[in-house]
Structure 1
Amino acid sequence: MPMPVPQTRQVRFGANYTPSQGWFHHWLDFDLDAVRADLDSLAGLGLDHIRVFPLWPLFQPNRTLIRPRAVEQLVQLADAAAERGLDISVDGLQGHLSSFDFLPAWTRTWHRRNLFTDPEVLAGQEEYLRTLAAALADRPHFLGMTLGNEINQFSDGPHPDPDRITGAQATAWLERMLAACERGAPGRMHLHAAYDAAWYRDGHPFTPAQAARLGAATAVHSWVFNGTAQRHGPAGTATEQHAAYLVELSKAWATDPHRPVWLQEVGAPAPHIPEDRAARFTEATVRNALDCPDLWGVTWWCSHDVARSLADFPELEYGLGLLRTDRTVKPAGKAIAALVEEWRGRAHRPGVRSTALVVDVGGAAAAPFRSVCAPGGAVFEAWMRLTAQGARPSLVLAELAGDEAHLVSRGITEVCTADDAG
């Protein structure tokens, strides 16, 4: 069989848009001029897209009320982005942001219903996602919908009050909600996003197989405060390669060998990444991710810092922006701008990763032992050892490690185990 030809195209660079005034509470006092000034500062970095977060309780405060004015403001934001050359991806069910939950009153306390299985909640979510997608369907700069920001965290611990579900119920929810987005805006890049419990937490109902097989692309969110930086330090190979590892890990489950992978969230959280190392970490993380085939793009978390006048955020959340609240550029922002300039007009052609580390998680579908992939796990640590030695490893599921057609489709010529990696 012929070796696969790596796909070439330009990689995308963007930011998760956190308004400089009022954080996501800006929807309560929507100021289009302030939004335009924020978007000007992002366009000044050379970025080509943003990811936007409506707050679900403000847009759908009652199960049968999706506020027309809120939807209109979302469209205004999208049009302002387009005027500055920025495409837009919209997250629907917000959901969860920076340690705060934003759930409508019709899903909580006296109206408590399971977010993933209750028939009335499902119908409300479905119509909400369809409505947002339809409102933007005629905008050529609209990329598509993400169902919600790390909504998987509502399904399991360590959330203090989870809506428990099975893996089959998670699949059914994902398929139904993705179909609603497609009805609203056919043919756009609709996908779902999970925090890394989907990849690392045994028994979690949202799985790697769902992440890598449902939706138009695979989204990965890379945060090194998950034990990686604590174990390996701020400049360790594992810390600077964590995002690239997640990109490659996702490809082990993908049935399409060239499925696009979107590094949809990645940031430099202090104190795990000290402020004076943020620019170095940013550059190293992005460069390492760019060495992964089929990377759709990198979207940094986040655009602007959180104002210190806002209370009760975890300390690390305040300083994650590429820009300060006064819209001046921080060192991490300068690092991103330099990378954007370097890659402007350049084809993404990283080459095939021909060595694959075997991933045995007890079965691809449920992945009951996926913690071997987590920081400290045998697969994670072996991949990082190989990388530190100068290798460019990928990963392959144990059940596919002997499948010649699969290996050829991915350009894999050598397979090794964690024990082989020393």
Structure 2
Amino acid sequence: MPDDRPPPPPVRAPRFGVNYTPARGWFHHWLDFDLDDVRADLDSVAALGLDHVRVFPLWPVFQPNRTLIRPRAVDQLVALADAAAERGLDVAVDGLQGHLSSFDFLPAWTGTWHRRNIFHDPDVVAAQEEYLTTLAAALADRPNFLGMTIGNEINQFADAPHPDPDRVDPAGAARWLERMLAACDKGAPGGFHVHAEYDAAWYQDGHPFTPAQAARLGAATVVHSWVFNGTAQRHGAAGTATEHHAAYLIELSKAWASDPHRPVWLQEVGAPAPLVPPDRAARFTEATVTNALDCADVWGVTWWCSHDVSRELADFPELEYGLGLLTNDGRIKPAGAALARMAALWRGREHRPAPRRTALAVDVGGAEAAPDRSVCGPGGAFFEAWAALTARGVRPAVVLADLAHDPGHLWARGITEVLRVDDVTGAA
């Protein structure tokens, strides 16, 4: 058979960055924005040898009324981007914040007496479009602006376990994502505009945000890898499934991608204590990055997060306080030193992992809606089989059961062998 697979994209070094959590005031810093504090934080990020930051405007601060997008807040965001540029850092901006570290930040005009569904109320959706377009347009001429993420894990508003979900069906979620991405592109045409979901999109049966949407809409597929989802509880901090969880999500996402070389951005990953004890954080960081970069087409790794949350701030889940690569006073922690070493190791180095010739077929009851996707989550038959194969030294790709006998699909992805879950569990 002639090798008519789509040509791979140009080979380049993977990007290394961090989700920027201000050392003073956390994301509440937008309420009393101090550019000198921001500059100091970014100095400490740049000292790690990283090349980009992901930043988080708080939606209620930037758009406190449906028809008011505060010009001063937008100017402060641009000032932050310019400060990053001075330090050699590119900037990716999230828009609809949305949800951060267990706290919801929704503007008053969507709740209580003004309760409206954020995914399909026409006035709310129009205001969201205007807001995303405004932020993107304000940054469009900055050469260090990468693009917009619609919002941080905004899918958590759409379904349980959220205590007051904004219900939407999969078709409605797809329409909303397409409109928001178009709004970003209107403001900054051709930007690296994406959307980001937490792992319910991959693991939760019936969740309205689907793997197909994640892997086909936007400039790249975004994955957020958190091992407190049951992975570390089942497999331990040093378990194969734990240290390969990010790689697993990357490979899982590729099963749904229409483009065999679609870029995948590991946009959030961190070492949550005590499931990953502080004395193992550096090892976990190195293993996670190494294993993720053993997958093809990885755009980059953006660690969560830059600075610890100050103990002066109340009511965060305990694990959130210590996720920083740096302390509040800018001292580098072991995980920070580990990520700095990995960034230095990969700087200027081509990312060209060997092909994954063996694939494990996943049956989720149909590719589009994925009604049985819980098999992909920790404890699910597919998840555990993939981890078992990996522990045996296999480097498994993932292929949808619907496509497991499609020679064109397998050829395009370089897959020469397809295994089923029963092939793995029967040999255990």
Above 0.5 in TM-score?
yes
C-alpha distance in structure 2 between counterparts of 1:18 and 1:294, whole Å? 27
Paired with 2:267 and 2:296, the residues of 1 have a C-alpha distance of 16
Give the Cα separation in 1 of the matches to 2:258 and 2:125.
28
2:98 partner letter:
G
When the two structures are aligned, how many residues end up with a matched partner?
422
| Structure-to-structure mapping, 1:100-139, within 5 angstroms | 100-139=103-142
Secondary structure at 1:148 match in 2: strand
**Whole-Å Cα distance in 2 between the matches of residues 83 and 61 of structure 1?**
30
C-alpha distance in structure 2 between counterparts of 1:270 and 1:401, whole Å: 39
The 8 Å contact of residues 12 and 348 in structure 2, kept in 1 or not, is answered as no
What SS does the corresponding residue of 1:268 show, helix, strand or coil?
coil
What secondary structure does 2:219 align onto? coil
Aligned residue runs from structure 1 range 158-169, under 5 A: 158-169=161-172
Aligned equivalents of 1:276 and 1:156: distance in 2?
36
* SS across alignment from 1:298: strand
Query: 2:416: which partner in 1?
Result: 413
What are the within-5 Å matches in structure 2 for residues 4-403 of structure 1?
4=5, 6-7=8-9, 8-403=11-406
Runs of 4+ in structure 1 deviating by more than 4 angstroms, as ranges, are 3-7
Aligned-partner Cα distance in 2 for 1:320–1:261: 23
**In 1: Cα distance, 2:109 partner to 2:149 partner:** 22
Structure 2 CA distance for aligned equivalents of residues 52 and 3 of structure 1: 40
2-side partners of 1:9 and 1:401: how far apart?
30
Contact 1:6 1:352 in 2 (8 A): no
CA contact (8 A) 1:130 1:181 kept: yes
Q: Deviations over 1:84-116 (max 9, x none)?
A: 110000000000000000000000000000000
Specify the SS of the correspondent of 1:130: helix
Please give the secondary structure, in 2, of the residue aligned with 1:192.
Answer: strand
**In 2, distance between residues paired with 1:344 and 1:13?**
9
TM-score (norm 1): 0.99
What are the ranges of 5 or more consecutive residues in structure 1 without an aligned counterpart?
Answer: none
Specify the SS of the correspondent of 2:422. coil
Q: Under a length normalisation based on structure 2, what TM-score does the superposition of the two structures give? A: 0.98
* Shift, 1:2, TM fit: 1.2
Q: What's the CA shift for 1:421?
A: 1.2
| Conservation of the 8 A alpha-carbon contact between 2:119 and 2:172 | yes
Whether the 8 Å CA contact 1:253–1:397 is kept in 2: the answer is yes
- Measured in 2, the distance between the counterparts of 1:402 and 1:418 equals 15
Give the percent of matched residue pairs that are identical in Structure 1 and Structure 2: 77
1:3: how far off? 7.1
Measure the CA separation in 2 of the matches of 1:191 and 1:278: 29
| Maintained 8 Å contact 2:110/2:117 | yes
- Which whole-Å CA distance do the structure 2 matches of 1:373 and 1:47 have between them? 32
Q: Which deviations, in whole Å up to 9, do the C-alpha atoms of 1:160-211 show, x marking residues without a partner?
A: 1001110000001000000000000000100100000000000000000000
Separation in 2 of the partners of 1:152 and 1:41? 32
Shift of 1:9: 1.0
Deviation string, structure 1 residues 288-346 (Cα, Å, up to 9, x no partner) = 00100000000000000000000000000000000000001000000000011111110
Residue 212 of structure 1 aligns to a residue in which SS?
helix
Measured in 2, the distance between the counterparts of 1:162 and 1:280 equals: 37
Is 2:18 aligned against 1:2?
Answer: no
Kindly provide the CA deviation profile for residues 379-409 of structure 1, in whole angstroms up to 9, marking residues without a partner as x: 1001001100001000000111111111011
SS at match of 1:85: coil
